[in-house]
Amino acid sequence: MAFLDNSGDIILDAVLTDTGRMRLAKGDGTFKIVKFALGDDEIDYSLFNKSHASGSAYYDLEIMQTPVLEAFTNNTSILKHKLLSMPQTNLLYLPKVKLNDISQPAAVIVYSSGTTVDTYTATNGTTTGTGTYIVAADKNTGDQLTNSTLVKNSSYAGFIYGASPNEISKHIRVEQGLDTTDVSFRKPIGELKETQYIIQLDSRLAKLTDSSTTKTAAVSFIDDDQVASYYLSQGKDKEYVKDLAVPSSEAQPEDAVIKGPKGTSIEFSFLPSDDIETSTALFNEIGGGAASNISISGQTYYYIDSNVRVTGATTGSSIDIPVRFMKHYTTP
């Protein structure tokens, strides 16, 4: 890995992903490039300086001289924010996907010392992006967390029962729209409405389900890093993707997180994989391991921290949601 030479011309550096390289290596004549993506994650456009003393030819000098790494093949490490082509020329705002941690709050976990949980509270929209969702790996873990005083006192914030969803089990809700008060929330969002979402999660840990049952969604693709991609569309996957209601009153609902025109929402949950439901191997291999077990209300748990990515297929807007898979520790 190295930096591109940025001393002169603009350079386009393209590589095959790991999956593309694997298919090319088969040599069976079936390899064909059918899609590509562009990204500029390392560029800070705020460096554009219209006050440069040397004139307009130097406005973008710092941007052009930004050190940029060569393209590399791991699709989980690059192109976090892909470039997007829009036919409209009069757009002042682009929509975003946003976690609704008011109607489905995440958990904020604070440790008093070492690995002992001191406080377990709900985000309630005040600390968006800093909370996490807790997924119980099996029924025993779910029962132990359900009986935890700290979890109870938070009204089970961010708690997903996993294998046995019930009335206290939460789910994840993401909403899409223009997050600005400069445009009335009563206006339609038009062509910027998301009708399809891509959800990516570690297939070793869980499968995707709707928000109220253990019926799993169909996996569209699992890459070489064991990341499963689910493509969910409005109409076809009505348990997941729904229109956001346009408020008829003068004020927004208290649990609204999109301030302007609204698009759609997607709600989902998880079914733990057989590997984490019946074994502790992955908890020791990619999680905290027994030496880093955490304690909640006197009970000890293995854990694995992961992220779930939700991406709108129309605009490419995305969000990474922290998820912690937990399993009750039983002394061998």
The residues, any chain, with a CB within 8 Å of residue 94's CB and separated by 6 or more, are 178, 192, 315, 317
Report how many domains make up the chain: 2
Residues 229 and 256 in one domain: yes
Q: Token digits for 273? A: 């994989």
Indicate the residue type of 14: A
Residues 162 and 43 in one domain: no
Which of residues 59, 83, 107 is at a domain's end?
A: 83
Identify the top-confidence range among 64-78, 191-205, 239-253, 280-294.
191-205
Categorize the per-residue pLDDT at 125 as very low, low, confident or very high, splitting at 50, 70 and 90: low
Within-domain flag for 119: yes
d(CA 328, CA 116): 14
Residues 43 and 121 in one domain: no
d(CA 7, CA 265): 45
pTM confidence score: 0.84
Q: Token digits for 157? A: 């914030």
Within-domain flag for 91: no
Which of residues 21, 53, 83 is at a domain's end?
A: 83
CA proximity to 142, closest of 170, 120, 118, 119:
170
Contact predicate 50/65, CB 8 Å: no
Categorize the per-residue pLDDT at 21 as very low, low, confident or very high, splitting at 50, 70 and 90: confident
Contact predicate 199/312, CB 8 Å: no
CA proximity to 175, closest of 324, 82, 310:
310
Indicate the residue type of 62: E
74: number of Cβ within 10 Å:
11
Indicate whether 280 pLDDT > 50.
yes
Which helix or strand (DSSP H or E) is residue 242 part of? strand 241-243
Within-domain flag for 89: no
Residues 225 and 76 in one domain: no
Work out the end-to-end distance of the chain between its first and last CA atoms, rounded to an integer number of angstroms.
44
Within-domain flag for 209: yes
Within-domain flag for 88: no
Give me the DSSP letters along 185-205: TTS--GGG---EEEEEEETTT
Q: Strand 299-312 and strand 133-136: pairing?
A: unpaired
Residues 137 and 36 in one domain: no
205: number of Cβ within 10 Å:
23
Residues 136 and 277 in one domain: yes
pLDDT digits (tens, 9 = 90+) for 52-68: 999 998 898 888 888 88
pLDDT of residue 127: 46
Within-domain flag for 283: yes
Q: Print the domain residue range for 27.
A: 1-83
Q: Identify the bridge partners of residue 325 per DSSP, sorted by sequence position.
A: 135, 304
Mean pLDDT for the chain overall: 86
d(CA 71, CA 81): 14
pLDDT of residue 218: 95
pLDDT of residue 221: 87
Residues 188 and 241 in one domain: yes
Q: Identify the bridge partners of residue 296 per DSSP, sorted by sequence position.
A: 299
CA proximity to 40, closest of 60, 69, 7:
69
Residues 168 and 286 in one domain: yes
Residues 125 and 244 in one domain: yes
d(CA 135, CA 304): 10
Q: Token digits for 74? A: 């791991």
Residues 45 and 169 in one domain: no
Residue 256 has what DSSP assignment?
-
Categorize the per-residue pLDDT at 10 as very low, low, confident or very high, splitting at 50, 70 and 90: low
Within-domain flag for 90: no
pLDDT of residue 124: 64
Which of residues 83, 113, 137 is at a domain's end?
A: 83
d(CA 95, CA 262): 9
Contact predicate 313/196, CB 8 Å: yes
CA 312 to each of CA 10, 24, 32, 133, 305: distance values in angstroms, whole numbers, following the listed order: 29, 29, 26, 21, 24
Residues 255 and 125 in one domain: yes
